[in-house]
Structure 1
Amino acid sequence: MPTIKSVTALLVAYPEPHYRNIERYLVLVRIEDSSGQTGWGECISQFPEATRATKALIDGGLSELLIGRAPMNIEGLWHAMLDRCFWYGSEGIAAFAISAIDMALWDLKGHLLGQPVASLLGGHVTDKVPAMASFILDMDDLDWTVNEFAMHQQSGFRILKAGWGMTPDSQFGTNRERDLLLVDRIRAAVGYEVDVILDVAGHRRFWDLPTAIQRFNDLEPYRLRWIEQPLPSHDLAAHAKLRGAVTTPIGTGEDEWNPESYKRLIESGGVDVVQLDPGRCLGITGCRQVLKMIEAANLDASAHTWSSALNTAASLHMLANSPNHVGMDLKPHPSPMQHELVTDPWVQVDGCVHLRDAPGLGVTVDEAVVAKYAWH
């Protein structure tokens, strides 16, 4: 039986076209076993300091824990990594590191067995997941923003999701009159046959509870599929009160780290659509546990996947195994980590991303592109 030969953390920085080419950062992990087979994973570290710290944790601790052990025993390795982090905690930087390694282990196991990750997870309930065209609003150019919604509808997306704003000082949620004008124009452009989702930068505390109730009521006639991150994610009590006062569903969860924090969120009663990101929620193994909680609570699940094609692949495989999935983010325009990193990038067909009958995550990493965007 093969054993793990190496665990390599590779840092990349790239310009994000969806965000005016702002530089974003990821940690990719390449695991090679004694037979020469490889698996790839990633975490959405996003900031330079978090990216460096994640690599330090992998290089200085987690890699030596894994080398020489059997890669097939993913559950055992996942718990071993959590045990290693007991003192400094399994959230934050440790969660990034474990997520990237866990994703790579699932990819490696799939290649070793010649099976897609979805099959390794127990078999899929669907072979496709709705794709949400996910992009950043430009609150200073509503004409451009409305055109984006219309263009992505015309290209086949059936769910259109956007939020925040291109600049810190001009964000959705900060100007009631402008927000309403924008949503009115969006619905006039795309009609009501497609779902529209709007994302508020809840961590910036634009809305308190009374304001959130007012804004939800303002937007109710536009039949939004859900409103995302309306309040600071840690304020579970406020989310529960908001949910009890409005009819438009609430989406949140992308800021959570592990099954324990998701358990608190789900039990709070303040969420309708639970967001998961295998690039930060302790990988596919962690997200798998959360999905079972979501199913037991009869809530919906969506994937926050706005980084690389590896994260897209992991999100697709895990959601395809749950009947409670409602959609996954997909960058609608070409982006380096989505379309260059792999030789076979994901595309939506008839509004969905489709599983592939290929081993592992189902994508092939181009190591020349990894080198092209390498960051030190």
Structure 2
Amino acid sequence: MLRWPEPNDFNHDRMTLLVRLDTTAGISGWGEAIAMWPEALRATETVIRDGLLPLLAERDLADVEGCWQAMKDHCWWYGEGGIASMAISALDMALWDIKAKEAGKPLVDLFGRHHQSLPVCASLHVNQATIEDSVRDIAGHIAGGFRSTKLGLAKRGLSRAGRDPDYDVALVAALRAAIGPEAGIMVDAGNGTKWDLDTAIRTVKRLEESGIAWIEEPFLPSRVADHVALKAAISTPVAVGEREFTVAGYQRWLDTGAADVLGLDPARIEGVTGFRKAAAVIEAAGKVVNAHAWSTAVLTGASLHLSLASKTAELFELKPLPGPMQFELIDEPFWHENGLISAPNRPGHGAEPRADVLARYRAN
């Protein structure tokens, strides 16, 4: 369990669970479960240690999909989402890291590359006190090479963003004026924004005047009817999925017709295997696959390889402010060059945490 101050979240503490899986042949793989809260992290650790590791000890680890299915079968009573899915995620990610290392290849090469590189998006939380301060910071990231930005509203910090629709519209308009017409702007309403349907429709229509690329998570996932109604009322693509756990969950979204961009987090949707299965369903429906990679470099590495292997991925999100879980955790951090990011040419997913950094931020 790790706890660290995240500069991209106004230096508030964030938490996650990293897992190292060692084989008898001496190869180690790394995975992540983004359970976030201390009690959820402890529960995830218990499922891994007491339920899933003994199961894997009796199996051929080279058969990663067989291991994945065995873990799902084991969790039949309490699985299909939540803690069980995150526990499976960490181990499956580590198993694929091992498999790629055994093959001596970057993880993406086990699946086939659809992209050599992807344009980077500055995925950030709006947390400055004024529109002017926020625009200055965000425009600086675009000037530094990012091709687009995703604005997380109603986050911790000093901003009113996400709590006042007029403010949100003014913020996006000022940002568009500052960065020009080419750079993309995505708006992530997120958990803290409490729109009713009418407010969402009015606000997004006003945001469309500034040419936003998509509106993300405008309501809680359970408000399916509101997503459908919003989609019918606006011209902007709708993004959902950050809080899904299974392929079945993504299929339900596709069946509604309410989503254009589906967010996948391999640290919660049953790992690399779960991501691949969900991406196949999404791509078959002609929708966009977008990795949610807002945690440590381990998740970033897995998400990057998976994005490069996904036919409909259009960009890759990076936290724009260098923090300890990006720039201290591994020796060769993931970053862009002239606004594009590609997979490092090293075996596995490319994120090998440093023991000294793990010890520094360990929470248990």
TM superposition score normalised by structure 2: 0.96
> Which residue does 2:83 correspond to in 1?
93
2:132 aligned with 1:143, yes or no? yes
> Which residue does 1:36 correspond to in 2?
26
State the identity as a percent.
39
Report Cα offsets for 1:188-240 as digits up to 9, x if no partner.
Answer: 11111100111112x34611212111111111111101111111112222212
Match of 2:357 among 362, 365, 369: 369
Q: 1:314 to 1:171 in 2, by over 3 A?
A: farther
> Which residue does 1:291 correspond to in 2?
279
> Which residue does 1:104 correspond to in 2?
94
2:208 aligned with 1:220, yes or no? yes
> Which residue does 1:5 correspond to in 2?
none
Residue type at the aligned position of 2:94: A
> Which residue does 2:171 correspond to in 1?
182
Question: What SS does the aligned partner of 2:44 have?
Answer: helix
Higher strand share: 1
Q: What is the CA-CA distance between 1:151 and the residue it aligns to?
A: 0.5
> Which residue does 1:77 correspond to in 2?
67
RMSD: 1.5
Report Cα offsets for 1:93-141 as digits up to 9, x if no partner.
Answer: 11111111111111011111111111112x1111112221111102632
Question: What SS does the aligned partner of 2:78 have?
Answer: coil
Residue type at the aligned position of 2:70: A
2:49 aligned with 1:59, yes or no? yes
Residue type at the aligned position of 1:320: L
Match of 1:312 among 300, 320, 344: 300
**Structure 1 CA distance, aligned partners of 2:64 and 2:118?**
25
Map 1:286-365 → 2, pairs under 5 A: 286-365=274-353
Contact 2:298 2:352 in 1 (8 A): no
Greater alpha carbon shift after TM alignment, 352-361 vs 26-35: 352-361
Count matched residues.
364
Q: 1:167 to 1:12 in 2, by over 3 A?
A: closer
> Which residue does 1:116 correspond to in 2?
106
**Structure 2 CA distance, aligned partners of 1:175 and 1:107?**
44
Q: 1:23 to 1:146 in 2, by over 3 A?
A: same
TM superposition score normalised by structure 1: 0.93
Report Cα offsets for 1:322-353 as digits up to 9, x if no partner.
Answer: 22001222111111111111111100112121
Gaps of 5+ in 1: 1-10
> Which residue does 2:220 correspond to in 1?
232
**Structure 1 CA distance, aligned partners of 2:193 and 2:211?**
24
**Structure 2 CA distance, aligned partners of 1:181 and 1:324?**
32
Report Cα offsets for 1:246-265 as digits up to 9, x if no partner.
Answer: 00111111010010111101
Residue type at the aligned position of 1:207: W
> Which residue does 1:133 correspond to in 2?
122
Residue type at the aligned position of 2:317: D
Contact 1:226 1:248 in 2 (8 A): yes
Match of 1:49 among 39, 44, 67: 39
Contact 2:10 2:127 in 1 (8 A): no
**Structure 2 CA distance, aligned partners of 1:266 and 1:330?**
26
Deviating beyond 6 angstroms after TM superposition, the runs of 4 or more aligned structure 1 residues are none
**Structure 2 CA distance, aligned partners of 1:369 and 1:85?**
32
Match of 2:13 among 23, 27, 48: 23
Question: What SS does the aligned partner of 2:225 have?
Answer: helix
Q: 1:171 to 1:262 in 2, by over 3 A?
A: farther
Q: 1:212 to 1:165 in 2, by over 3 A?
A: closer
